[in-house]
Amino acid sequence: MTFTFTQGSPINTADGGCVMAVWIQNGTTFTKTKIRYLSNGTKDHLPIFGAKAGWTTVNNAMTANVVDAVTGATRTGSSSPAALDTYSVSWDGKDVSGNIVPDGTYTVWYESTWIDGSRNSDNFVNSPGFAFTKGPSITTTNPANVGPLKTMTITWTPTALSLDNVYKTKVSLYPNPSNGFINVKYNDIPVSKIDVVNILGQVVKSIQLDPLKSKTIESIDLSGNPNGLYIIHVSTNETSSNYKIILEQ
């Protein structure tokens, strides 16, 4: 499952700092934490998440379960990702013990707390969560904007399917043939790396990407390389797929 969203500020006087958490539930049962950005000084600012994720100390979300989650300190205007930024969350269909959970309806939960210029806090929770179906088919939903959350997409992809099967219609390369520059457009896919390989199997260009960023297209300069066939290797953190392109300069 991939959940992408843009986080804005829920209050007009926010000073740019926020704490936040994203987690998965099955009904009222906690399944797994995916993101927790929090600091010791703000450990009591995510009370819903902390309770849901089994905090071991009440009012201290730093003690909640974050197995395999992305964690970090309070988000600010200079952090990466920033407080006001686009995020991408991935879930492999497993619980905190690494077991694949049964198919069915699950929900993505989000909680954040922002601080205003007078140091007052403002909390938001997307109760009762954004529902999606975990099953044998690909499903995509686009929840309506709510609170600080905008431009949201939830896509469930069965783990047995490769990126090549699932995203073939979402990844596009152009122009093809190319006169030196190619564009790799990957839309809402959390791409982490793009490699360009020649017919000898040599990597002539490798580009590392941040899958949490909102970027959806990468332009690649192949000018100076010999004409011929190249393989574009597009990777996420879970899987990868290959695409052919012809260079004609």
pLDDT per position as a tens digit, 9-59: 765 555 667 899 999 999 999 999 999 999 998 899 999 999 999 999 999
Rounded CA gap, 214 and 138, in Å? Answer: 22
pLDDT per position as a tens digit, 223-232: 999 999 999 9
Rounded CA gap, 81 and 211, in Å? Answer: 11
pLDDT per position as a tens digit, 178-231: 999 999 998 878 888 999 999 888 899 999 998 877 788 999 999 999 999 999
Q: Which of 156, 177, 199 is the last residue of a domain?
A: 156
Identify the residue whose tokens are 């006001």.
84
Name the pTM for this structure: 0.65
In what helix (H) or strand (E) does residue 52 lie, and over which residues does it extend? helix 47-52
Same domain, 84 and 56: yes
For residue 217 the two structure tokens come to: 């297209």
Same domain, 81 and 135: yes
Same domain, 203 and 121: no
Compute how many other C-beta atoms are within 10 angstroms of the C-beta atom of residue 132.
21
Q: Which of 127, 156, 185 is the last residue of a domain?
A: 156
Q: Residue 166 — pLDDT band, cuts 50, 70, 90? A: low
Same domain, 139 and 172: no
Rounded CA gap, 33 and 178, in Å? Answer: 43
Q: Which domain holds residue 74?
A: 2-156
Q: What secondary structure letter does DSSP report for 8?
A: -
Same domain, 151 and 203: no
Same domain, 204 and 136: no
Q: What secondary structure letter does DSSP report for 94?
A: B
For residue 13 the two structure tokens come to: 């006087």
Same domain, 121 and 152: yes
Same domain, 14 and 52: yes
Rounded CA gap, 46 and 134, in Å? Answer: 27
Rounded CA gap, 32 and 96, in Å? Answer: 6
Q: Which of 123, 156, 189 is the last residue of a domain?
A: 156
Same domain, 14 and 116: yes
Amino acid, single-letter form, for residue 4 = T
Alpha helix stretches (DSSP H) within the chain: 47-52, 163-166
233 touches 195 (CB < 8 A):
yes
Identify the residue whose tokens are 């260009």.
205
Output the domain CATH number for residue 171.
2.60.40.3080
Same domain, 34 and 134: yes
Same domain, 190 and 130: no
Same domain, 121 and 13: yes
Task: Domain count for the chain, please give it.
Answer: 2
Rounded CA gap, 211 and 85, in Å? Answer: 13
Q: Residue 135 — pLDDT band, cuts 50, 70, 90? A: confident
